[in-house]
Chain A
Amino acid sequence: MICAGIDAGSRTIKVVLIDTESKRIIAKDIIDQGIEQSTLALELFENTLSKSGLKKQDVSFVVATGYGRNAIDFADTTITEITCHGVGVHHLVPDAMTIIDIGGQDSKLLRLDENGKVRDFVMNDRCAAGTGRFLEIVAQRLNVELDSIGKMAAKSKSPSPISSMCVVFAETEITGLLACGASRDDIAAGVQASIATRIAGMAGRRVMAPIVFTGGVALVPEMDNALKSALGHEITISPDPQTTGAFGAAILAARKLNGEHK
């Protein structure tokens, strides 16, 4: 039997199909998010099935997660991304005690217990500072592709100090730094450090290693090192971090199907 997890995030929609018994990933895919969330998710789901030679009726249970989970009307149930990331990471990195998930619109930190269950969590609820949106804005301001930010940061010798409190003010700060002749590499590194500082502030004293990094921002080069500096712990990037939430949702779908407790 096959189960599916769909993670409707603020920037992208992700789908993961797994074999219910082995929990092995059969197929996965990602598309950009849009206004017609439900339609986009359905298209992604059907295309992913089609590429794998499968049909909708081959999927026994679908769990939707993420910011837009309630718009996915073909899902059998919805579960929050907090639970899904917890389950996904625990399956992939069983000894993880802390998860940092930085997505396009929010960031969160989850503490797990020794059994991989979520103990509690904290989410960014103030500003896009500390999220992928900050990187996007900076990439636009520096006139580079988002993918380049990490590579530029790697070349920095002296990261520029940037406020971690407000993205709008940070953008103004970047204008000032450029006017003062700061290099784009140093600004890119400064922005990464700013996001990491924000996450560290949000984490407070509740960080326990091993720490696993998930979400789309985990794909940005050097972001893990910025977090390592801010938190003082090694950071492990989750395998395919962008689909970890969808993978967790698929595992939960399998558990629901088998009547297991979460």
Chain B
Amino acid sequence: MNIEPKQISLEKWDEQYNKLRKAGLYEPSYGGRLSRHVEDGDMRLLKLKYDNSAAALRLWNFLLTEEDRLKNARDNCKKLIGTMKDLGTIPVMAYSFENTIAFYPDGAWWIPCVMELNAGLLEIADSLGIDESFCPVRAMLGAFATEAHFPIPDFLICSVGATCDDFSAIAQRLNGMGHPIFWWEMPHRRNPKSYEDKVILPGGFAAPKCQLEFVKSELERIKVALSEISGQEMNDEKLSAGIIKANQVRKYLSELRYLAFTAELCPLPALEMLIAEMLAIHFCSDIDETIEVLKDLLDEVKTRIKNNTGFFDRDAVKIFWVNPVADLQVMNLLEDCGGRICGTEYLFSHALDEIPENIPPLDALAQMALADPMAGSTIDRASRICNDIIKYGSEAVLISRIPGASHCALEGEIIGQVIRENFDIPVVEIEVPPITDAMKPTVRTRLEALVETVKARPQNKIHKRRTE
């Protein structure tokens, strides 16, 4: 069925669903009408605009049925491994076992948005002493307390050290609530001294070899712990197979990002791209299905590019977006204001890089973990963003702060400064709380002004590096 790309409301999706079914829509086990998720209390879905393709429907249904998958996994005697704070590495290890499912409890930070604050998770976090001065990921505490949003994992793993101060505090509170956590330490990635052996990490950063050895020893501890909880031995062969599978996800995402960000007409809206990119870190509790979902999306994007169809005007301003948004609706808003996403840095860019397959698997995973943008300096992070601005031809940068998130408060200004030093393009910061309804006019003004600012500038100056 040939469908003209269009953004549609949830209500319209029901009509679209009927049309697709009549045309022979393939439906996975978690398929069905998108609107049914509202019955679970996901009220924000009523206010979003969606890509109207079958591939997008599959993506959304996959995302919104994770709780069912976790429950099924538990019923089938699989062990649920909560991999916290680490963005993308430990799940690869967990999926290398046959009877474990990795799960990302941090993802609960979107529940206040999706359920429009009705779940009361932030209030529970408040009552536990983790108030609004912390990142909204504190909603995770409420989810653990109510046990209403995901089954409590059999085993919790959390990285500390050079990760995120907010999350460390929140996870310690969780530990204190009677949820034991297996802690592992992530050192602050630093440049090697002249006398030190160094290693170049995926993504291009350098680190002293001794740091890599340390991270590897931490991953060894995790491997042993996972073997104990799963009752299975882990060997290099199984880990390598897990890496190959994770790389398949990363390859698809890499291609999807490149096509979506560089196509003349936007082939996939920002919201669906955001959801797709997030799959790199959590696989939505099913890595095999993640691969299928991404394959579908990639096929759809390729078809649209081939047919020269897509979304928004051809002169939509190409925005590089830094940090994920707490309110999903803001991604729609950017497009309403005349922008499109051409480049993203959602704090896990290392999870989009392929894991080396030509070195021992634990060494490869240690390299990936150490390449985490949050484990190094903000300058490293900004430098990677600058490289991607060139790669995707971004015309402006939008740094979205998350209220209470210490990383955003500290890093935004520095990232902005580095970008301004390198490019003659506008950089603007906005703050996006879990629900922006009351602030929508002010957020809209900033987004519209950013688009106007780019459009008012001479085109030939947009990508010029000041240093050139």
Contact = CB atoms under 8 A, between A and B. Distances in A.
A125 B453 contact: no
B448 A80 contact: yes
Interface centre among B413, B449, B455, B457 (most CB of A within 10 A): B449
Nearest to B442: A125
A225 to B, nearest CB: 27
Nearest to B337: A80
A32 interface: no
A83 interface: yes
A122 B429 contact: yes
Nearest to B443: A125
A262 B456 contact: yes
B287 to A, nearest CB: 39
Nearest to B453: A118
Contacts of B456: 83, 117-118, 261-262
A261 B455 CA distance: 9
Contacts of A126: 431
B446 interface: yes
Contacts of A113: 457
A82 interface: yes
Given A117-B457, A204-B413, A262-B456, A82 B441 contact: no
B449 A80 contact: yes
Given A125-B431, A204-B413, A205-B417, A120 B453 contact: yes
B462 to A, nearest CB: 12
Interface in A65-115: 67, 70, 79-83, 106, 113
A119 interface: yes
Interface in B412-468: 413, 417, 420, 424, 426-431, 439, 441-442, 445-446, 448-449, 452-453, 455-457
Interface residues of A, number: 23
Contacts of A123: 442, 445-446
A204 B456 CA distance: 25
Interface centre among B431, B442, B446, B456 (most CB of A within 10 A): B456
Nearest to B419: A120
Interface centre among A79, A80, A119 (most CB of B within 10 A): A80
Contact of B442 (A106, A120, A261): A106
A220 to B, nearest CB: 23
A67 B442 CA distance: 8
Given A118-B453, A262-B455, A125 B445 contact: no
Interface in A2-49: none
A254 B201 CA distance: 55
Interface centre among B427, B442, B446, B453 (most CB of A within 10 A): B453
B449 A121 contact: yes
A261 B315 CA distance: 14
Interface centre among B413, B445, B448 (most CB of A within 10 A): B445
A81 B429 contact: no
Contacts of B445: 67, 80-82, 123
B362 to A, nearest CB: 43
A119 B449 contact: no
B440 to A, nearest CB: 11
B427 A120 contact: yes
Nearest to A116: B456
Contacts of A118: 426, 449, 452-453, 456
A117 B448 CA distance: 15
Nearest to A69: B445
Contact of A121 (B420, B453, B455): B453
A67 B441 contact: yes
B430 A125 contact: yes
Contacts of A117: 453, 456-457
Contacts of B426: 118-121
Contacts of B455: 262
A261 B454 CA distance: 12
A67 to B, nearest CB: 7
A67 B427 CA distance: 22
A59 to B, nearest CB: 22
A82 B452 CA distance: 9
Interface in A209-262: 261-262
Contacts of B431: 125-126
27 contacts: A67-B441, A67-B442, A79-B452, A80-B449, A82-B445, A82-B453, A83-B449, A117-B453, A117-B456, A117-B457, A118-B449, A118-B453, A118-B456, A119-B453, A120-B420, A120-B427, A122-B428, A123-B446, A125-B430, A125-B439, A125-B442, A126-B431, A204-B413, A205-B417, A261-B456, A262-B452, A262-B456
Given A70-B441, A106-B442, 10 more contacts: A80-B445, A80-B448, A81-B449, A82-B452, A83-B453, A118-B452, A120-B426, A121-B428, A122-B429, A125-B431
Interface of A: 67, 70, 79-83, 106, 113, 117-123, 125-126, 204-206, 261-262
Interface of B: 413, 417, 420, 424, 426-431, 439, 441-442, 445-446, 448-449, 452-453, 455-457
Q: Which 7 A-B pairs have the closest CB atoms?
A: A82-B449, A120-B426, A262-B456, A80-B449, A83-B452, A118-B453, A80-B448
